[in-house]
Structures are given as structure tokens and as C-alpha cells.
Structure 1
Amino acid sequence: MNIITWNTQWCCGIDGLVSPQRLIEHARSMADFDVLCLQEIADNYPHLQGQAGLNQAAQIAALLPDFQVFFGAAVHRFTPDGQAQRFGNLIATRLPPLQVQHHALPYPADPGVASMPRMCTSVSVHTPHLGAVTIMTTHLEYYSHLQRSAQVEALRALLQQSTIQAQQPPLDSAEHAGTPFAPVQPAAHAVLCGDFNLSPTEAEYTRLQTAPDGGDEHWYDAWPLCQGQQAHTPTFRLFDRRYGPEPVSCDFFFVSQSLRSHVQSIRVDAQTQASDHQPVLLTLAL
């Protein structure tokens, strides 16, 4: 099972060209992916660099006719003349989807600091050998440490909630068949990926991999499961140093405890300049 995560910078490359097609073509060149997780997908933001004015989620769906595409708009606003503007995460899957959820992440007030609402988009898919696997993708706050820390706590809680739901599923009765109360196949396995806007040296990185009080499930960074003590390959500021002088790692894959033994490989494409972030490919042996 191949999964790619990529912060697309609204599909804007280092050259300033906005091209969902170029981005999808490059993702295909990396692997025959089963799931594609993208962050910073824009709809009607012509003032962004490169003029990301078109509905990029719809464009990507057209470029992936064999996939089902789910867009989670963390930002959904309207211009003074009533035109909708959306900005958020996207998951495309060719595996059969079972359930889609969009989790709004905490957005505590942090006066005087630039910020935007953030979301974790979650799609549970059916796999032939493991059953249901939940794929989550997110993009945490860049400027506000207060908000980013709160969002990390929410991601810890989401895994705990998912684990308990799988162990103690809702009531399944004939009278609820075909209604919203009918439960879906519980997902005992989970993957979390995206742009976390924090480095492996920060406290929040360790915090994300710490079990909540009263629980024993927590996220595991997939990189050291494959690479041991080798430092993460940088995923940001390789070609564009506007946000800092040195390349850093901030785009990660995390897995639930049940998937640790299934992590087969992980690699960063450090060559492409189709975005200001580098894509990451995770392969799970199912």
C-alpha cells in the first residue's frame, strides 16, 4: 500500500507556476500510489502567488478518474461580493472508502499572531488483508505555537478515540440498518500524515508520540521504524529560503501501534520543485 503526502503550496512550484497537473504527474512518477494526501489545496484564491483562482479539488479529481477525492476545507469564507473561497486538505483513494470525517482542530485565540483555522481530514478505506485502515491528513498552524500545541493534543485524542471505537464499536442492530446509526466497519489501524510545522527536535513532536492519560495507544513516527537513528531527510526550505535559512523536516507519517510492523519503507523526494515542500512516500506491507 503506497501513500504519498505532500504540502502543495496551492500547487505552486518554485518557478511560480500553479499546476495541479504537474503535481499529480510527479506524484505518479514517485509510485503507483493507492492514497494521495495533499495539503494547501485552494479554491478561488486568485491573489495567492501564481494566482490559484480555480477549484483545485475539482481539477485534481478530474486528473484522477480512478480515485475518489475528498476535500476538507479548513477555511471556508466568502468575498464581499459573495464568492466562496476554500483552502484545506485533500485525500484521494482508489481503495474503497468506508467513512469520511472532517475534524476541526482547536483554534484558540492568539492575539497579534497570523493564523487560520486548521482541520484533520480522515478517510477510512477497506484493504484486502487488514480490513479498515483510517488515513488522516492535516496541516498544523505555522505562526502560532499556542494553536499548534493545542492541535497536537487533538490529534493524540483522535487516535485514542479511534482505538476505543474499534475495541468497543457502537451498537449494531437490524432496526438501524440503512440509517445514520448503522455502524461502519471499525478501523483498528490508522495513519496520520501531513505538514506538522514542527521539527523532530520540538517538544510537540515527542508529545504527539506520548499516550494520553488513561490510554496506551499513541502515534509512532514511521521514519525511525525504517531508518533507525538516521536523521529525517528535510522536506521544507530546500529551494526556497524565505521562511528560514536552513532546510528542515516538518512533513511526517505517523502510524498506530498496530501498523508498526507493516511499515516497509519511507522516502522523501528531495529533487522536485513543484512545491516549496517535498513529497514523502510511505509503503505499508499489507
Structure 2
Amino acid sequence: MLRILTWNIQWGLGIDGAVDLDRLINEARAIADFDMLCLQEVSDNFPDLKGNDGGNQFAEIARLLPGFTAVEGVALDAPGGGRGRRRFGNMIVSRLPVAQVLRYTLPWEAAATRNMPRLLLDVVVETSSGPLRVMTTHLEYSSDTLRRAQVEGIREAHRTATERHLMPRENGPGTYALYPTSPSAVLTGDFNMRPDDPVKQRISEPFSTNVPDLVDAWQAVHGSKAHPPSFCLFDQSNGSPHCCDFIFVTEDLAPKIRTISYDQESQASDHQPVLIEIDI
């Protein structure tokens, strides 16, 4: 069985105003003995973020999870005012062997609202059933236009990865070597959309080719039952409690989902972690 936990960690800032990565990782471990941890809002050299000491959280999280492979998905990479680069983005930490890693910069259209670069991190892991692609992302908060474009970027990344797998390709030396991949995939993250948003539903629309659809895992298990809230549960400064964190699986994996759950207790971030268990 494969256990994947996804969590927007808000750089470790808890509801109590304290940044504490040790607490966060301990709570993640208490939720499940996860095989993969997909994180959003990981920071490096951002001392101006609330409660943050400016440390390299990518390195710190890797240190807290010995025996795991830590893969960085830096979306924002900017000058750090003499302190090195400032970096912000996603991360996947895996106990399973990691094969090829791809990082897709999502479309960044012009928008008058505050916004930043966004990225889709795509990690191929070796499971007992063969290769599996696990992706995580964090879409724009303040612009529907940007989210629409980013969803199309995710769909293109999934389409091209599947078609590369299906089309025989010449092997080659060095950088042209072939690496394992798969049309089967799990997509996780903070999508900054509610379940009924048409842009969120666009993720699951059929492809025109033999690319497997991306199915909302909660709906695959629970049908029309409402998603539990994953944001604003303990702090309503950004609205009433609602769900904007989702896990999608390709349609071949949907019957293999054993459980999907939204933790409603943790206050280690302003988002709630989401766990999926898949028989694989």
C-alpha cells in the first residue's frame, strides 16, 4: 500500500503564530507512516515572512526525514539582498526510490493582482507495481485568469508525459538515456479553488487522446459527499472554512484507493493535511 500525505505548510507557520518545522513533521508522522510527503509553501531565505527566521527549509525538512529522498520544486528564485538566493515553492519527500524528476514552470499570464511564478513538480517513483508519477503544485491565489492558464499547463504536462511513455523512443548515451515513467499518476496540492469551481473541474475533463483522466480522489470514494474543509478551519481571516486542497489520481488508480481523509485537528499550518492510501 502507498501512503501519500499532501500539505500546504505555510512555511511552518502555525495558528499560534510560531514557525515550527519539527512540530509539523511530527504531526505528519502521527497522521500516517507516509511513503511520500508532498509540500507546498516551503521557503528559503525569506526572513520577512511572518515568524520566519530566513533559514533554508528545503534543507531542514530533508534533515528531519532521514532515509527519504528530498526533491525541491523551486517556483520563485530571486536575489536575496546579499544573503544568497531567495527561494519558495514545493517539495516532495519520498521513501520510495526516485527515478526521473521533472519541473514544469506553469504559465504566468499578466494579471494586475499580486501573483508569483508557480510550478508543477513531477517525480517518478519505483513502486512494487512499477513506476508511478507523483505530482504536486500550488496554484495562484488571487487570479482566476492565472489559475485557468496553470490548469492548462498541468493538463499539458500530464498529456505529454503519457504520450512519451506510449511512443517508442530511441535510447541514447548520457543525457539521452531513457528513464522509467508511467501514464499512471497522482496529482496533489493547494489549488486555491473550491470543489465546484469550473476551473477545478477542468482538471478532470477527458483528454482527446488515450491519456488517462485525472479523477478527484475524494469524489471517486465518496461520490457527491462534500469535501471536508482544508483551509480557514481555525482562522477565518481568509474566509469561511472551505476545501481547496485536493488529490487527483488517474482513472486506473481510482478503484485502488483504500482511503482518503482530511485531517481536522492539526493547527501546525493554516491548511489541513490530506492523506490518501492506494493499493499499489
Q: Report TM bin, short chain.
A: over 0.9
CA deviation after TM superposition for structure 1 residue 27, in Å: 0.5
Structure 2 residue 275 is the aligned partner of structure 1 residue 281: yes
1:153 is aligned to 152
Paired residues for 1:2-13 under 5 Å: 2-13=3-14
Higher mean displacement: 212-221 or 147-156:
212-221
The worse-fitting range, judged by mean Cα deviation, of 194-203 and 208-217 is 208-217
Deviation at 1:81, TM superposition (A): 2.9
Counterpart Cα distance in 2 of 1:3 and 1:106: 26
Q: Residues 45 and 80 of structure 2 are in contact (CA less than 8 Å); yes or no, is this contact kept in structure 1?
A: no
Matched with 1:136 is 135
Q: What residue number does 1:51 align with? A: 52
Query: Are the aligned partners of 2:184 and 2:212 in contact in 1 as well (CA < 8 Å)?
Result: no
The equivalent residue for 1:270 is 264
Q: Which amino acid aligns with 1:166?
A: H
My pick for the range that moved more, 100-109 or 210-219, is 210-219
Cα deviation, 1:54-100, whole Å, max 9, x if unaligned, reads 10010011111110001111000013336311000000001001111
Q: Which residue of 1 aligns with 2:216?
A: 221
Residue 150 of structure 2 aligns to a residue in which SS?
helix
The alignment's TM-score, normalised by the length of structure 1, stands at: 0.95
Flag the 1:60–1:216 CA change in 2: closer, same or farther, 3 A. closer
Shift of 1:243: 0.9
- What residue in structure 1 maps to residue 180 of structure 2? 185
What are the within-5 Å matches in structure 2 for residues 1-286 of structure 1? 1-81=2-82, 83-111=84-112, 113-129=113-129, 131-172=130-171, 176-177=172-173, 179-214=174-209, 216-244=211-239, 246-286=240-280
Change over 3 Å in CA distance of 1:88–1:169 after alignment to 2: farther
Distance in 1 of aligned mates of 2:92 and 2:231? 21
1:216: how far off?
A: 4.9
1:188 Cα deviation after fit: 2.8
Q: Provide Cα deviations, 1:25-51, integer angstroms capped at 9, x if missing partner.
A: 001001110000000000011111112
Question: RMSD of aligned C-alpha atoms?
Answer: 1.2
Task: Between 213-222 and 16-25, report the one with greater CA deviation.
Answer: 213-222
Identity of aligned residues (%): 42
Q: Deviations over 1:128-151 (max 9, x none)?
A: 12x000000000000111111100
Counting matched residue pairs gives: 279
Question: 2:100, 2:72 → 1: CA distance?
Answer: 13
User: Do 2:163 and 2:211's aligned partners in 1 also have CA atoms closer than 8 Å?
Assistant: no
Which of 101-110 and 72-81 deviates more? 72-81
Opposite residue 2 of structure 1, the aligned amino acid is R
Distance across 2 between alignment mates of 1:52 and 1:207: 39
d(CA) in 1 for partners of 2:79 and 2:102? 23
**Structure 1 residue 230: Cα displacement:** 1.1
Q: Is the 8 A contact 2:15 2:269 kept in 1?
A: yes
Residue type of the alignment partner of 1:9: Q
Instruction: Quote the Cα distance in structure 1 between the aligned partners of 2:53 and 2:204.
Output: 35
Give deviations 1:165-202, integer Å, cap 9, x for gaps: 22114223xxx24x111111131310000000001111
Residue 277 of structure 2: SS of its match in structure 1? strand
Alpha carbons 1:159, 1:218 under 8 Å: kept: no
Code of the aligned partner of 1:249? C
Asked whether the equivalents of residues 41 and 88 of structure 1 are also in contact (C-alpha less than 8 Å), the reply is: yes
Aligned-partner Cα distance in 1 for 2:144–2:83: 32
Normalization by structure 2: what TM-score? 0.96
Q: Counterpart of 1:140 in structure 2: which amino acid?
A: L
Contact 1:188 1:258 in 2 (8 A): no
Say whether the 8 Å CA contact 1:13–1:275 is kept in structure 2: yes
In structure 1, distance between residues paired with 2:121 and 2:181: 17
**What's the offset of the Cα at 1:123?**
0.6
Matches of 2:101 and 2:123, distance apart in 1: 5
